[in-house]
Structure 1
Amino acid sequence: MSRMTVNERPVQFDLDPRMPLLYALREAANLTGTKACGGGGAQCNGACMVLVDGVALRSCAITLAEAEGRIITTIEGLSRDRSHPVQQAMVAQGAIQCGYCTPGIVIALAALLQRNPAPTRADIDAAVPNICRCGVYPRLVKVAEQAARVAQRQERVSAAPAPGISAEDAARNVPALRVPEDE
């Protein structure tokens, strides 16, 4: 029985301890935001990235036995309402294309900003090993820079409304937009 904390909740997996964490998260815990990445064994595109004790790791390369007793954060646990600065900056900068690699990129950037609140371009390049076939790389530097400013409360981002909020209701809270009231 492998025990760990996943998204701030204690869990235990009654699975083969040699199983990659990726499959336990996706198949047993139904946390499908962490994407199956292809190659496995860290020879992947990074879409399977999760935080393990605050460090971005490829979940295809860590077994349940290696995850025992650790704190795991998936994309679902990073922010339940999409308010994490990296999530907001990804939307604001238009850095989401097909979305397959997005969870891994968000996790990698969140880990970077946690340990380095003012990363350089070299820091950003080194922290994001993910492969994106849609080519969002040029925007990732802007995403990281904007997310850092948001995290330091130097800037606010008006991006996607939280789940369950209609676009019309969200627009009512943006001063630059006026939505006619029903008469």
Structure 2
Amino acid sequence: MRLTVNGKAIQIDAEPEMPLLWALRDLAGILGPKFGCGIAACGACTVLVDGAPVRSCVMPVSQATGDIITIEGIGTPEALHPVQQAWIDEQVSQCGYCQAGQIMTAVALLEANPAPTDEDIDNAFGGNLCRCGTYPRIRAAVKRAAGAPAGA
């Protein structure tokens, strides 16, 4: 099976019904998306497929036919994505387990809506769980990233 992940074509040997999460982690060695629940309820496994946030724990790899972007594909240590920088500036992360999924949800939200309201943010993140309860910081980071210049 051929996938495009973070702008690179990769070849994997996977059963069509294997969840995308396990294809990424176990076969492609891409460890940013995390396993949290296995039923699309927590958001730790969120990746973008053709720009839309999807729960990779329940998406069969055979359905991931578009461009797949994981947390590893949105910035570099030298040039963080504005959402990554906002996460640092707002000190969002506590334990950090859910953060890759939270960040990918924020990236998708800001691509679709560059100036989200509190309600827009709450709606976009309604299914992303954070056991540490950093929701106010997540909202602040999304607003900070929304105000960042492109490419910052």
Above 0.5 in TM-score? Answer: yes
Shift of 1:3: 1.7
Match for 1:60 among 57, 60, 64?
57
Structure 1 segments of 4+ aligned residues over 4 angstroms from their partners: none
Query: Following the alignment from structure 2 to structure 1, what is the Cα–Cα distance between the partners of residues 67 and 30?
Result: 15
Q: In the TM superposition, what whole-angstrom CA distance separates every residue of 1:11-69 from its partner, at most 9, and x where no partner exists?
A: 1221101000000101111111110112x1313x11100000000111011111111x3
After TM superposition, give the deviation of residue 151 of structure 1 in Å.
3.7
Task: Supply the distance in 2 between the matched residues of 1:117 and 1:53 (Cα, whole angstroms).
Answer: 18
Residue of 121, 125, 134 corresponding to 2:122? 125
- Tell me which amino acid in the other structure corresponds to 1:132: C
Residue 81 (structure 2) aligned to one of 64, 73, 84: 84
* 2:148 counterpart (147, 150, 153): 150
Q: 5+ residue gaps in structure 2? A: none
Percentage of matched positions with identical amino acids: 47
1:94 aligns with one of 42, 66, 91: 91
Count of residue correspondences? 150
The RMSD of aligned alpha carbons is: 1.4
Letter in 2 for 1:85: P
Cα distance in 2 for residues equivalent to 1:62 and 1:151: 33
**What do the CA deviations read for 1:61-85 (whole angstroms, capped 9, x no partner)?**
1111111x31000000111225111
Q: TM-score, normalised by structure 1?
A: 0.78
For 2:147, the aligned partner's letter is: R
Do residues 71 (structure 1) and 70 (structure 2) align? no
Which residue in the other structure is 2:103 paired with? 106
